[in-house]
C-alpha cells in the first residue's frame, strides 16, 4: 500500500478503537476504473546496499520563507516542498561529488500521489497503489545552482502532472506507470548517482489517536539504502522535517554543508518542550 492508504487505514483503525460501535469501510473504486491486467515480468530495481548514515533535518517556517524568497527571484511561485527538496538534493549532490572527487551525473526519482491528479480524481481514502515517480536529472560536470534545481523540479513535476491529468484506459494507465518503473530500473548499473525522494506532507499522521492521545513525534525508519530523502510535516504543521539517508562517506560532507546549515537544524530534539516538562513532572527519577 502507499502512504495515502496507510494513513487512512491507521486513522480509521484509531477511530474504531475510540468508537467500537462505528462501522468503517474503505473505498475500492480504483480497480473499477483501472482493472488489473497481466504485466510483463520485469527485473526488480535493487538499490545498492552500502554502509549508510541517517540524519534528521528540520526547517522551521521562517527559514523556509527565506529560502522561498531566494528562489522566487527567478522561479515563479515556488512551493515549500520544491525549495526544500532542491536545497537538500543540491547538498546531497555536492557531498557525493566531494567524497568521490568526480562530477557524476545524478537523477532523483520523486514520488507523486496521483489520486487528485488523474481524471476522474479519487478521494484520499481510495484503497490501492495510485502513485508514480518523475525524474529530475543533472548532467555530468555541470555546476548545480539552487535556483536552477528548484526550477527543474517544478518543470518536471508540472509536465508529469499534465501528462497524467487526462482520461486513460486501464491499458494506457498501466503503460504510464510502467514508464516510471522502467526509468527507475534503467538506472541500475549506470555510473550515476540515484536518489529516491518522497513527500509525506499533509498526511494526517499527527491526528491518529487510539484513545491515549496523539503522537508527540512521527518519523520514518532508515531502510539501509543510500540516497533516500523524505519530507514530512513537523508536529506544529508549519515546518518541514526531512529524514535523509546517505552513504557514510557522503554524510560527513553533507552535514557540514554551510548552505544547508543556514536553513536547517540537524538532529534537534524531537520532543516538544511541553512533553519534556510532563516527563519531569510525572517521573521523579528524571530529576536524579
Question: pLDDT tens-digit profile of 201-241?
Answer: 999 999 999 999 999 899 998 778 899 999 999 999 999 99
pTM: 0.85
Q: Calculate the CA 267 to chain-centre distance.
A: 18
Q: How much is the pLDDT for 72? A: 97
**CATH T-level fold of 3-36+47-287:** Chloramphenicol Acetyltransferase (3.30.559)
pLDDT at position 270 over 70: yes
Domain boundaries, the chain: 3-36+47-287
- Rounded to the nearest integer, the mean pLDDT of the chain is 84
Q: How much is the pLDDT for 171? A: 74
Question: pLDDT tens-digit profile of 38-90?
Answer: 655 555 556 667 899 999 999 999 999 999 999 999 999 999 999 999 999 99
189 or 60: which leads in pLDDT: 60
Q: What is the mean pLDDT of residues 253-257?
A: 96
Amino acid at each position: 500500500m502507499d502512504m495515502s492508504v496507510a494513513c487512512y487505514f491507521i486513522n480509521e483503525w484509531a477511530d474504531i478503537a475510540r468508537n467500537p460501535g462505528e462501522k468503517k469501510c474503505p473505498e475500492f473504486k480504483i480497480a473499477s476504473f483501472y482493472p488489473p491486467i497481466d504485466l510483463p515480468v520485469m527485473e526488480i530495481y535493487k538499490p545498492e546496499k552500502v554502509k549508510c548514515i541517517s540524519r534528521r533535518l528540520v526547517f522551521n517556517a521562517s527559514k523556509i520563507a527565506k529560502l522561498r524568497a531566494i528562489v522566487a527571484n527567478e522561479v515563479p511561485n515556488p512551493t515549500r516542498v520544491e525549495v526544500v527538496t532542491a536545497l537538500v538534493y543540491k547538498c546531497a549532490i555536492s557531498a557525493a561529488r566531494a567524497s568521490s572527487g568526480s562530477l557524476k551525473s545524478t537523477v532523483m526519482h520523486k514520488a507523486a500521489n496521483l489520486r487528485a491528479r488523474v481524471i476522474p480524481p479519487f478521494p484520499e481514502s481510495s484503497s490501492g497503489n495510485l502513485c508514480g515517480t518523475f525524474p529530475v536529472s543533472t548532467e555530468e560536470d555541470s555546476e548545480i545552482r539552487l535556483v536552477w534545481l528548484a526550477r527543474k523540479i517544478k518543470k518536471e513535476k508540472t509536465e508529469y502532472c499534465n501528462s497524467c491529468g487526462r482520461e486513460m484506459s486501464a491499458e494506457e494507465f498501466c503503460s504510464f506507470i510502467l514508464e516510471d518503473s522502467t526509468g527507475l530500473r534503467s538506472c541500475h548499473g549506470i555510473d550515476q548517482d540515484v536518489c529516491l525522494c518522497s513527500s509525506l506532507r499533509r498526511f494526517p499522521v499527527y491526528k491518529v489517536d487510539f484513545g491515549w492521545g496523539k503522537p508527540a513525534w512521527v518519523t520514518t525508519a532508515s531502510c539501509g539504502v543510500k540516497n533516500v530523502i523524505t519530507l514530512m510535516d513537523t508536529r506544529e504543521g508549519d515546518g518541514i522535517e526531512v529524514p535523509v539517508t546517505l552513504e557514510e562517506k557522503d554524510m560527513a560532507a553533507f552535514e557540514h554543508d554551510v548552505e544547508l546549515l543556514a536553513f536547517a537544524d540537524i538532529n534537534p530534539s524531537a520532543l516538544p518542550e511541553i512533553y519534556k516538562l510532563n516527563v519531569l513532572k510525572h517521573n521523579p527519577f528524571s530529576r536524579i
